[in-house]
């Protein structure tokens, strides 16, 4: 993404649209997605990141047999990562945190179109008992931030449905 295409992270969170799907799992697995941007776990002295939106199909505390589909939108200051010039470079830290939480890289980062924007996407999975938790993270750089959109589900189809709903722009037509 070049500088002319950059978008304010706060605006990105307002215009990005994604529906939450069905499913739930243990609270600690749901909260793992939030850990990477929690300031308490930040390795940098400057505030690392902020969760702009965390949406779950069920409350994170709810226990069930299936994966709690979720969407997490977060922004971290690019200044926390010296030399960060492209979204693909942010996958070093993303992959490191994912691996520390038991995820394995399924698909190395690759360019992924979302409407008129080109983002970078990486896919991960984690065995959770007899189930598999799938995670796809899409990243863009915008106004000095690395903005990540993370989608978690129990099947590839479930994650793909969530990712397919991501868009930038005005949502819906006005009834007036």
CATH number of the CATH domain containing 94: 3.40.1000
45 Cβ contact partners less than 8 Å away, ≥ 6 residues apart? none
Residue 85 lies in a domain: yes
Each residue of 74-88: b (16+ CB within 10 Å) or e? bbbbbebbeebeebb
Residue 175 lies in a domain: no
pLDDT (tens digit per residue) in 95-131: 999 999 999 999 999 999 998 899 999 999 999 888 8
* Pairwise CA distance, residues 16 & 12, whole Å: 6
Residue 173 lies in a domain: no
Angle ∠(170,38,101) on CA atoms, nearest 5: 100
Q: What are phi and psi of 105, to 5 degrees?
A: -70, 125
Provide the domain count of the chain: 1
Q: Is the pLDDT of residue 173 over 80?
A: no
Residue 174 lies in a domain: no
pTM above 0.85?
no
pLDDT (tens digit per residue) in 53-68: 999 888 777 777 778 8
């Amino acid at each position: 993404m070049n500088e002319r295409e950059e978008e304010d992270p706060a605006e990105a969170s307002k215009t990005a649209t994604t529906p939450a799907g069905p499913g739930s799992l243990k609270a600690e697995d749901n909260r793992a997605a939030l850990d990477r941007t929690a300031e308490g776990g930040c390795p940098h002295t400057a505030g690392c990141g902020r969760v702009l939106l965390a949406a779950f199909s069920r409350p994170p505390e709810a226990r069930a047999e299936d994966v709690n589909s979720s969407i997490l939108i977060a922004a971290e200051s690019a200044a926390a990562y010296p030399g960060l010039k492209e979204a693909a470079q942010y996958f070093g830290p993303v992959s490191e945190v994912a691996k520390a939480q038991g995820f394995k890289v399924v698909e190395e980062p690759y360019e992924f179109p979302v409407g008129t924007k080109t983002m970078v996407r990486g896919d991960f999975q984690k065995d959770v008992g007899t189930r598999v938790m799938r995670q796809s993270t899409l990243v863009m750089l915008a106004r000095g931030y690395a903005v990540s959109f993370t989608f978690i589900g129990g099947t590839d189809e479930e994650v793909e449905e969530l990712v397919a709903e991501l868009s930038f722009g005005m949502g819906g037509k006005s009834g007036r």
